[in-house]
Amino acid sequence: MAAGAETRAATGSRATGRVVGSWRAAWLRVEAHWTWYRRYWRSSLYSSGLQPVLFLAAMGLGFGSQVEAGPATGGLAYVHYVAPALLVAGAVQNAIGESSYPVLSGFKWQQDYYAVTATPVTAGQLLGGQIIWIALRVGIACVVYTLVALLFGAWLNAGALLVVPIGVFAAVACGAAIMAVAATTYNEGERFAAIFRFLVMPMILFSGTFFPIEQIPAAVRWLAWISPVWHGTELARGVTLGGLDVWPALGHLTFLGALLGVSAALARRYFYRRLVV
Amino acid sequence: MSGETADPRTAAPTVTAPMVEAKALVKRFGDVEAVRGVDVQVRTGEAFGFLGPNGAGKSSTMRMIASTSPRSDGDLRVLGMDPDLDGPRIRARLGSVPQQDTLDTELTVRQNLQIYGRYFGLSRAEVRRKATELMEFAQLSDRADDLVDALSGGMKRRLTIARSLVNDPDVLLLDEPTTGLDPQARHMLWDRLFRLKAGGVTLIITSHYMDEVEQLCDRLVVMDDGRIVAEGSPSELIARYSTREVLELRFPPGEQGGVADRVAEFGERVEELPDRVLVYTGDGERALEQVHGRDVRPVSSLVRRSTLEDVFLRLTGRTLVD
Ligand SMILES: Nc1ncnc2c1ncn2[C@@H]1O[C@H](COP(=O)(O)OP(=O)(O)O)[C@@H](O)[C@H]1O
Ligand SMILES: [Mg+2]
């Protein structure tokens, strides 16, 4: 601060602006999103909060009442089987939604990303803030879901507390990948509709959310193995229902970590390419 | 900063280093060369203009100065620093009004100002105080808690300018500040810019409106096709490239042919535009009498002072706004 004032006096500068640290800059973006969210959270209530809860009620309690506890569900009631998976699926869907059109808008319609990068905040910090914000936002939705699921009696033990960070981890890894896509989208975002339909929807249906992937024909089962939702679901079930060994758990974490790392690196490159031209 | 080694910036306090210094500045987008070797120096406290038609390379130049766009070639110093190395530090001391407003339309006027101020490291208390002050300055106080979406074009533009002032910038960059605004909104904006200039802010303005540049700028460069074609104060440029007065002659459609040749001797120079003939002369009224004496009968005629528009026409053979 003192050095800044000295330089200012020496150069006759009247400016009050200064460069903030990278984490601080990313956090300032989170603050900006929070300001927006305080005003608009109600309109996102359905997609981020209510939808997974409705699924839990319909699938876990309704449909689940017709499902006999068996080897596939680890001998447990269906609601216990499906609750952690629905959290992961909902979190991923939420993050993908928030990383598509809203991010494209920052580049294309609202163009507020260009306003931000005209300040001391850089494109990389902007991206960091976006990722942290999505983690927070998805986290809020996951906590709400977890509490409602508690009322439904969906949790068997305190392992449920770990489901939230697992869901957020899987969600953010997918979100970062979609941000990289958004940063390279120049049209109206038609590709997002295709991604939702042909990628996200099948991923949620065939990643072991509702039934074990062993039911999928062996020839296409590998598709589930490369699905981040499946890795997240395996972890989430592992911590709530047990039966997950250390090595597979590390494998799932590594897969999601690698997806996040690669996606964030690509997104960073594309953010710079788009914003610093 | 030790007291022993003289800082070049403090060594001679009366001679301040230029705010912006560009030498042979180039910007390429793939095969397109948008800026082709621009040299400019902007001094402390002056209002400097880039005048040129659409596509001249004004915005590309401005973005390089704003340190949001890396240069392709040449040398650039902003506030004595190199944007390639010190982008964030430069941007901390700049204000930037881009050609597009880039406001957050889903937030209020006040929120836009406060959030933006935070990016410059200002505290919550500081941005609160500053937002109130800037809304006053931009005459938006009564709209403080309205969504930006609901504002008129002129109000949005004023808000963008207010936003750019949140860090009390040393240099304010304005890219086409009044394009698309009605005359009243333009004059109101000009008034705000005059106040800033009086307050010691260095202004850099691009425009394709000659009246805007003539009104606001102490010095300007005329830009065309990525190059600077002339430099000076508005009056210097008019004196150098045009005459004191201009006689404009308009004819019914199809009857303008051959007129230029017939009236050529009554002015220092004659220009033929699609809809009128311009006679450049020191005395427009006399030239008009002579034109009438030659039995040339325009449907309307007008004697006016030369403007930067005439300078541009002289230099490029084209009009600024078509
Ligand atoms: N991001 C970009 N990518 C490709 N070409 C660009 C880009 N920005 C500007 N140009 C081109 O550079 C030239 C100069 O544009 P610009 O600097 O916007 O001029 P002005 O602001 O004077 O209208 C134009 O031909 C324009 O199409
Ligand atoms: Mg422009």
Radius of gyration of the CA atoms of chain A, in A:
21
- Residue B106, chain A, CB below 8 Å: the answer is yes
pLDDT at A71 over 90: no
Q: Is the dihedral of CA A246, A247, A252, A258 positive or negative?
A: positive
Q: Are B282 and B191 in contact (CB under 8 A)?
A: no
- Ligand 1 pocket by Cβ (under 6 Å): A 277; B 29, 32, 34, 52, 54-60
- Binning pLDDT at 50, 70 and 90, where does residue B258 land? confident
From-to residues of CATH 3.30.70.980 in chain B: 243-305
CA distance B300 to chain A (A): 46
| pLDDT for position A11 | 57
C-alpha–C-alpha distance, residues B110 and B114, integer Å: 6
B273 contacts: CB under 8 Å, gap ≥ 6: B319
Q: Which residue has the higher pLDDT, B78 or A222?
A: B78
| pLDDT for position B322 | 62
pLDDT at B206 over 50: yes
| pLDDT for position A6 | 45
- Binning pLDDT at 50, 70 and 90, where does residue B14 land? very low
Q: What kind of fold does domain B20-232 have according to CATH?
A: Rossmann fold (3.40.50)
| pLDDT for position A122 | 98
Percent of chain B residues topping a pLDDT of 70: 95
Mean pLDDT along residues B307-317: 93
Pick the atom of ligand 1 nearest to B52's CA. 22
Tell which phi-psi region holds residue A74, choosing left (phi > 0), alpha (psi between -120 and 50) or beta.
Answer: left
Distances (CA, A) of A277 to A45, B52, B214: 37, 22, 31
The CATH code of the domain at B243-305 is: 3.30.70.980
pLDDT at B311 over 50: yes
Helix axes of B153-164 and B124-137: crossing angle, nearest 10 degrees: 140
pLDDT at A248 over 90: yes
Q: Are B209 and B282 in contact (CB under 8 A)?
A: no
Mean pLDDT along residues A85-103: 96
Of B188, B207, B204, nearest in space to B47 by CA = B204
- Ranges of beta strands (E only) in chain B are 20-29, 32-42, 47-51, 73-78, 94-97, 171-175, 202-207, 219-224, 227-232, 245-250, 269-273, 276-281, 300-305
| pLDDT for position B289 | 94
Mean pLDDT along residues B110-114: 98
Of B28, B39, B32, nearest in space to B69 by CA = B28
Residues of chain B in contact with residue A17, where contact means CB-CB under 8 angstroms, are 91-93, 120-122, 167-169
Range scoring the smallest mean pLDDT among A92-101, B59-68, B101-110, B176-185: B176-185
From-to residues of CATH 3.40.50.300 in chain B: 20-232
pLDDT at A75 over 90: no
pLDDT at B141 over 80: yes
Mean pLDDT along residues B226-237: 96
- Residue B309, chain A, CB below 8 Å: the answer is no
Q: Please identify which residue in the block is written with the tokens 């490239």.
A: B241
Mean pLDDT along residues B245-250: 96
Neighbours of ion ligand 2 (CB under 5 A): B 58-59, 99
Asked whether the beta carbons of residue A110 and residue B100 sit closer than 8 angstroms, the reply is: no
